[in-house]
Amino acid sequence: MKECILLLGHGSPKKDANNLEQVGTMLHGMLHAGCKEGCVKVAYLQFAQPGIPDTIKQCIGLGARKVILHPFFLSSGMHVTKDIPEMIQEARQLYPGVEFIYTEPLGIHEKLAHIVMERISAAEQLAPSAIEKRSFDILSAEADLSEVPADRLPIVQRVIHATADFEFKKTLMFHPDAVALGLQAIKSGKDVLTDVEMVKTGINKKWLSQWGGNVICNIQNTGAQGLKEEAGEGKTATRSELGIEAALKNSQNIGIIAIGNAPTALLKVIELFNSPSFAGRPLPLVVGVPVGFVKAIESKALLAAQRFPFITAVGRKGGTPVAVAIVNALLKISGDGK
């Protein structure tokens, strides 16, 4: 361990109040995902253990040549400007070969105001719609979405809101006709086909039913016996893949396909839509955002190269929350535009 980060708390006689370790764990995961060395530590000024000098000594004993100390305080009071700096100065004298960096406290920051807003919302027990609005206000304040086209903005916002991942601002990809086709399908009473039950469960059926559409998923209708029979000798098909294929062959009322789990199902859709049996037919909007490490990246990259309408998210990230958020965003736009 060459570098160690210390979160410094005040400490309290009330044992339950000394919970800075939770913040330290979250910070460690954000900075050093998968690290097992425990290079983010917590120390307290008084009333609680471990103390600051002992924790510094522990870091040095583990081989740290740089120690970054952050006072987890709201303002620069006496503890921040005098007591802790004196301890650090003593440490510099004891360990002359170690670099000590002392940061500013939490201080005044706009993100603290956002936290206060969340606490107020929780205390007021606001209606879900009001909480959602405030959440979107916070989201808009933290992310510059000014370059996102107006028709796609509600979708990008809802995906970020569902995942708390601002990276989707850059990774979501849209066919030029995707949003228009999705809205047309919803208002025409078309059904939404999903690859797994979790995606089906998350889609707002009340919003969809007002237009006459339903959410369908065929995965429960495929058995293990059919996996090899349907795929052909020597091959194996997933239940999601078979369910999607069966639904597309048996229904003419599918307007949106939402795939959040199975790359194989997305690959099957692409294969079918490029086959002679689907030539000349109006094709549904494909929301293809499977998550994972095997075939997920490849299936979404292939979808992004298609001529039929799609919405996808390049890279490994995706999943049920993303697929649900995209479809629900389209449903919300449809309802707002009545």
Which residues have a catalytic role annotated?
161
For residue 38 the two structure tokens come to 């425990």
172 phi and psi angles, rounded to 5 deg: -70, 130
User: How many Å apart are CA 62 and CA 66, to the nearest integer?
Assistant: 11
DSSP code string of 77-143: -HIIIIIHHHHHHHHHHH-TTSEEEE---S-S-HHHHHHHHHHHHHHHT--HHHHHHHHHHHHHHHS
DSSP 117: H
Neighbours of 40 (CB within 10 A): 24
Dist. CA 286–CA 147, nearest whole Å: 24
Question: How far out from the chain centre does Cα 61 lie?
Answer: 38
User: Of 238, 214, 218, which Cα lies nearest the Cα of 226?
Assistant: 238
Query: How many beta carbons lie within 10 A of that of residue 272, not counting itself?
Result: 15
Determine the 3-state secondary structure of 193 from DSSP: strand
Q: Which two three-digit tokens encode residue 41?
A: 């530590």
Residues 6+ apart with CB under 8 A from 272: 245, 248, 278
